[in-house]
Structure 1
Amino acid sequence: MSATNQASWQRGRVVSIDPAADAIARIVLALDTPVRAEPGSHVDVRLDTGEVRSYSLVSAGADGRTVTLGVHLSPTSRGGSRFMHALRPGDELDVTAPLQNFPLRIGAPRYVLLAGGIGITAISAMGTALKGVGADYRLVYVARTRSAAAFLSELAGLHGDRLELHIDDEGTGLDVGTLVGGVDARTELYMCGPIRLMDAVRRAWVDRELPLPNLRYETFGNSGWFDAEEFVVKVPDLGVETTVGTDESLLDALERAGVDMMFDCRKGECGLCQVGIAAVDGTVDHRDVFYSEEQKTAATKLCACVSRVVRRPGAPAVPGTVTLAVH
């Protein structure tokens, strides 16, 4: 899902940075210019390298002069989460006004909000808004451990028994079939989390023939079926061959090698950065929501901003290889 946004940049100053959960920082920014933040919105932040990263808004101050982010320190960070976790009170950085790619529609008879892990950052403000208008909603929060569940005490205090917590290592993991089986055709489900969770929900939703417009989601580009591995990309027509590191995307590696690339969302949603596959030695880890299941199975194209290649199971310990076709 997407919406047209016009980025308006301003300066932001770090008011505070505190732990929100294991490896998750709560970062409060004061803004030069007041903003209006709708549920599901995000801000873009410019790193010290000049690159731009997007972070969901957990909340915004009543006067619009502060915003709160939740940032997970990714073990495969391409620089963004490391930069954000290194911030200290008083630091300044460039930040946009809130941008909207994941809008909440007010007026549905019932809602299910589903957050997996750090996906709670995109879902939290929706829960606050639905409570504020007296909507009928459930907030389903899935985490591997209780200590990894960010903002848990605040969510519990605000939502009470509308908060449904599923903790994997406590034996209360989410049963997707049960969740979707309890949804009717007039319920809207909003979700953000790991690709495995969201794929399971989408499949169950389609199997039940529920209305597709009522299933709404936002993705994280670093959420894949496999752990990130180094792999080799070749573009014979351009004389390019380079290794894609675990801390960079295929898109980054191609740009580093001098290939002129087109891209926009960097989240596997728009398809602008798609490239053709001439050959692959390994398995394509499709991390996008742009292609259909049939297209992903065919593996003739991939979204360079998020998708990767991994070695086939049991293959020798040599990097996978993808050869791209120039059209």
Structure 2
Amino acid sequence: MEERELVLAHREPVADGVVCLTLRAPDGGPLPAWAPGAHLDLLLAEGLERQYSLCGDPADTGAYTVAVLREPEGRGGSAFVHDRLAEGDTVRVRGPRNHFPLEASARYLFLAGGIGITPIVPMVAEAEARGADWLLVYGGRSRSSMAFADALAAEYGDRVRLHPLDECGPLPLDEVLGTPHPGTAVYCCGPEPLLAAVEQRCVAWGPGALHVERFAPKADADAGPRVAFEVELAVSGRTLPVPPGRSILEVVEDAGVPVLSSCREGTCGTCETEVRAGVPDHRDSLLTDEERAAGETMMICVSRSCGPRLVLEL
């Protein structure tokens, strides 16, 4: 996927510990189109790449907007954004890419926790534009920590239910998810405990009702035995052994085969690769159950093989 250099045109605090960045082309020209749910890769420094959901207006073709939470226990990406990026700086980006698209539905239930509101903001605007029936339930540690909360409430009124933890307690998941509503698409983004709780409650809603996006891998995503297998690269005509302690991505890179990657933990989708033959052992935190069962693609940064051989479109 093409990389480009953009200029940080504006940065603005939008909540406690959250800064909003507006990126534009150096010549002010239009940028590639995107749809709600898309994210952008920010290539911040050598070896420091992070994915952030686009939270602006897709109709504004001249700007990309992302919001970044400072994470004291993070791996350096948010600290770089908060402490080192200044207006006028050049930022290399890759994307947009969308693994969390807003599917057509008559009704939507949006659930957001903390910075998980970012992909939801353009989704509620799109749902409103489509004339759909929708509700947003949005929680955070405190009202001051909840980015875009006041603007959402002011624009959409009682379709937005704010639940600051220090005022209202946890999100009322049993209330909003306890009774399945056929024909309702549930979209959720936030920290892993929220996603796990929502997934548990949405089992009764049936397959395809729930759509989630994760910022970090599932706790048990890489569970299971790690055995050796072979991977055949259909395009380059090579067959490579993948030992138990290495990923397909690492082996392919060492062999000099170019492949895009970013998170290396099965959450961003950058390294998604077509499977020509074999059965993948999916260990990502991104694909749906239906996509896993189809076995047409896999994330080669974490996923392995259920058999002795895989054939990949590489």
Aligned to 2:212: 217
Identity %: 33
Quote how far apart the aligned CAs of 1:140 are. 1.0
Quote how far apart the aligned CAs of 1:291 are. 11
8 Å CA contact 2:50–2:262 kept in 1: the answer is no
Distance in 2 separating the partners of 1:211 and 1:202? 11
Aligned to 2:234: none
TM-score, normalised with respect to structure 2: 0.69
Distance in 1 separating the partners of 2:111 and 2:22? 24
8 Å CA contact 1:194–1:223 kept in 2: the answer is no
Aligned to 1:8: 2
Pick from 26, 31, 34 the counterpart of residue 25 of structure 2. 31
> Residue type matched to 2:211 in 1?
R
Distance in 1 separating the partners of 2:131 and 2:180? 19
Aligned to 1:165: 162
Q: Render the CA deviation track for 1:44-79: whole Å, top value 9, x for unaligned.
A: 111122432111001136441111111011112212
Aligned to 2:93: 95
Distance in 1 separating the partners of 2:4 and 2:211? 30
Q: 1:116 to 1:152 in 2, by over 3 A?
A: same
Structure 2: 5+ residue stretches without partners: 221-225, 227-244, 254-259, 273-282, 290-299, 303-308, 310-314
SS in 1 for 2:56: strand
Q: After TM superposition, list the pairs within 5 Å mapping 1:276-315 onto structure 2.
A: 288=285
Structure 1: 5+ residue stretches without partners: 1-6, 226-234, 236-253, 274-285, 293-302, 306-326
Distance in 2 separating the partners of 1:224 and 1:112? 25
Q: Render the CA deviation track for 1:177-199: whole Å, top value 9, x for unaligned.
A: 11112441211001101111111
Q: Alignment RMSD, CA only?
A: 3.2
Question: Could you tell which deviates more after superposition, 159-168 or 28-37?
Answer: 28-37
> Residue type matched to 1:149 in 2?
M
Pick from 49, 53, 58 the counterpart of residue 56 of structure 1. 53
8 Å CA contact 2:114–2:146 kept in 1: the answer is yes
Quote how far apart the aligned CAs of 1:290 are. 6.8
> Residue type matched to 1:30 in 2?
R
SS in 1 for 2:55: strand
Distance in 1 separating the partners of 2:89 and 2:218? 29
Distance in 2 separating the partners of 1:160 and 1:213? 29
Q: 1:102 to 1:61 in 2, by over 3 A?
A: closer
SS in 2 for 1:178: helix
1:136 equivalenced with 2:133 (yes/no): yes
SS in 2 for 1:141: strand
Q: After TM superposition, list the pairs within 5 Å mapping 1:68-147 onto structure 2.
A: 68-85=65-82, 86-106=84-104, 108-147=105-144
Aligned to 1:148: 145
Aligned to 2:195: 198
8 Å CA contact 1:224–1:287 kept in 2: the answer is no
8 Å CA contact 2:6–2:92 kept in 1: the answer is yes
Q: 1:288 to 1:100 in 2, by over 3 A?
A: closer
Q: 1:196 to 1:168 in 2, by over 3 A?
A: same
Aligned to 1:46: 43
Q: Render the CA deviation track for 1:90-149: whole Å, top value 9, x for unaligned.
A: 01111124211110012x121001111000011111011111121100011011111110
1:185 equivalenced with 2:182 (yes/no): yes
Aligned to 1:65: 62
Quote how far apart the aligned CAs of 1:221 are. 1.3
